[in-house]
Amino acid sequence: MHILLISPVRNPNIKKPKGIMMPQLALNLLEGITPPHHQVTLIEEEIESIDLDMECDLVGLSFMTSNAPRAYYLADEFRKRGKKVVMGGVHPSILPDEALTHADSVVIGEAEGVWEQVLEDFQNGKQQRKYHKPFPSLDKYVHIKHRRGTKKRLFGAVPVMTTRGCPYNCEFCCVHDVFGRKIRHVPIENVVRDIQDSEGKTFLFLDDNIIGDPKYAKELFRIIKPMNIRWAGQASISFVKETEMMHLAAESGCVGLFFGLESVSKSQLQAMRKSPKDLEHVEDAIKRVKDFGIHFHASMIFGFDNDTKDVFPETLDFLNRNKVSSASLNVLTPYPGTKTYQDLKAEGRLITNNWRYYDHNTVVFKPRHMTSLELYAGRIWAVQEFTKLTATAKRLFTDFSNSLIHTAINVGTKKSIHNEIKAFPGVASQLYRSDLETIQDVKGFPLSSTRIIDLFPRKMRNQMSIS
């Protein structure tokens, strides 16, 4: 069979800046476990277009929630042309019955252990509606062919996976539902072989927590140290407490780590029963990471139920005061399958189920202490302020050790927020019309001297009859 594997974008007319494009691995893994007698074509829509009339026997689509509408459109178009379609990824795993209204089959969870069966069934015309093998072994080595899109993404970093599963129970996350609560490991010898086969020098570990199992992580760091590579990954802030772990990570080539700090607002810390000392520990951790020459990237979330409009300046003050090099400033997104989604739905606070808006950036619910529009615009303001050239340069001058990473991420984020500002009027008029109709002058809202409505082009303000 000729198998076409596609990773769709959220919006085919808007592509992400290279500085913040994460490398992908899912389709490459699928290709790697596909028996060699099949022909496989990979398409990442972020970097290349899709030919709906391409000759193929089976189309596979892997996607997350915000990409679902685009994936469903593509699936419908391929099926109109007589193609069979199978779906997988996080969103179809959480909502398989929804996905099946656009596909012939759905792979729930991980593809290892079922993909060969999927192909055999389709080839024999005996496909099942759902395929699922919970938490398969990761012991078998999967050879990843040349990654076509690597050079077009963040620093040309080669994606590598070492573990799956997460023991934490964050209410806004569904990772444990897809990959399980127990951490499963790729044998370290297979990780080493993958690194060697890639012939790369810069790598991105895609694990949800690269140090989730400290014993495994320390052994991995010791073994890859002589390989003279550079790598980045995602870790828990608890990582910083272990001096040995820090030394091993830095010596093995770690140049950057992504930390989910979530919130530093006083109201949210009180709700989480954390004291000012907890925040002091985070500040100490930031300093320690930077002292080891490792780039500290923070992930923050706006929109928790205890957040007020003070959350935006408080967060900026914290990031700038601690000279955090780069940050992802997101809004709380109630992904389907999470407790956050269930709670907001039960309370009647969701304002849309159009999945394209479930993207970390757009507000799809009613916050408690501000309007949806205020939360949406407040995040845009915060990103604008954080990525101003003067602010970016000021943070850079305190640490030149990872100047390229610092510059690329901040410039990429600045370009991305420019696209969001252009889309602001359309999104606001679609989702927040009731807020627009009641808005007056919002002095006191932390948009400096700018009112929310001033973010709209004058023509759009006139069309909305808002002065």
Q: What is the pLDDT of residue 463?
A: 40
The answer to whether the CB of 318 falls within 8 A of the CB of 300 is: no
CA distances from 281 to 3, 286, 349 (A): 51, 9, 34
Residue 298 has pLDDT above 80, yes or no: yes
Q: What is the mean pLDDT of residues 291-308?
A: 93
CA–CA separation, 378 and 363 (whole Å)? 11
Cite the beta strand spans of 49-201 per DSSP E.
58-62, 84-88, 105-108, 130-132, 158-160, 163-164, 184-185
Pairing of strands 254-262, 295-302: parallel
Out of 9-18, 55-64, 200-209, pick the least confident. Answer: 9-18
The answer to whether the CB of 233 falls within 8 A of the CB of 204 is: yes
CA distances from 105 to 96, 168, 347 (A): 9, 30, 33
Please state, for a pLDDT cut of 90, what percent of the chain lies above it: 58
Q: What is the pLDDT of residue 155?
A: 65
Pairing of strands 130-132, 184-185: unpaired
CA distances from 224 to 160, 206, 217, 366 (A): 13, 16, 11, 47
In a domain, residue 332? The reply is no
CATH code assigned at 86: 3.40.50.280
The answer to whether the CB of 231 falls within 8 A of the CB of 205 is: yes
CA–CA separation, 173 and 169 (whole Å)? 8
In a domain, residue 78? The reply is yes
Closest CA to 162 of 231, 227, 63: 231
CA–CA separation, 178 and 157 (whole Å)? 25
Q: What is the mean pLDDT of residues 257-268?
A: 83
For residue 250, what are its two tokens? 């830095």
Residue 401 has pLDDT above 90, yes or no: no
In a domain, residue 171? The reply is no
Total number of domains in the chain: 1
Residue 374 has pLDDT above 80, yes or no: yes
CA–CA separation, 98 and 223 (whole Å)? 44
Highest mean pLDDT among 275-289, 352-366, 371-385: 352-366
DSSP 132-157: E-SS----S-------TTGGGSGGGP
In a domain, residue 376? The reply is no
Q: What is the mean pLDDT of residues 311-336?
A: 93
Q: Sorting pLDDT into bands at 50, 70 and 90, what band is 449?
A: very low
Q: What are phi and psi of 62, to 5 degrees?
A: -120, 125
> Residue 53 belongs to what domain range?
2-132
Full-model pTM: 0.88
CA–CA separation, 272 and 287 (whole Å)? 23
Residue 448 has pLDDT above 70, yes or no: no
Task: Report the alpha-carbon angle 347-348-351, nearest 5.
Answer: 135
For residue 232, what are its two tokens? 């980045």
Let me know how long the chain is.
Answer: 467
Highest mean pLDDT among 81-90, 239-248, 452-461: 81-90
Burial of 266 (0-12, 13-18, 19+ CB in 10 A): middle
In a domain, residue 63? The reply is yes
Please state, for a pLDDT cut of 70, what percent of the chain lies above it: 85
In a domain, residue 449? The reply is no
In a domain, residue 114? The reply is yes
Out of 42-46, 290-294, 327-331, 392-396, pick the least confident. Answer: 392-396
Q: What is the mean pLDDT of residues 274-284?
A: 74
In a domain, residue 396? The reply is no
Q: Sorting pLDDT into bands at 50, 70 and 90, what band is 157?
A: confident
Q: What is the pLDDT of residue 147?
A: 57
For residue 47, what are its two tokens? 């970097």
Q: What is the pLDDT of residue 400?
A: 66
The answer to whether the CB of 240 falls within 8 A of the CB of 257 is: no
Bridge partner list, 41: 4
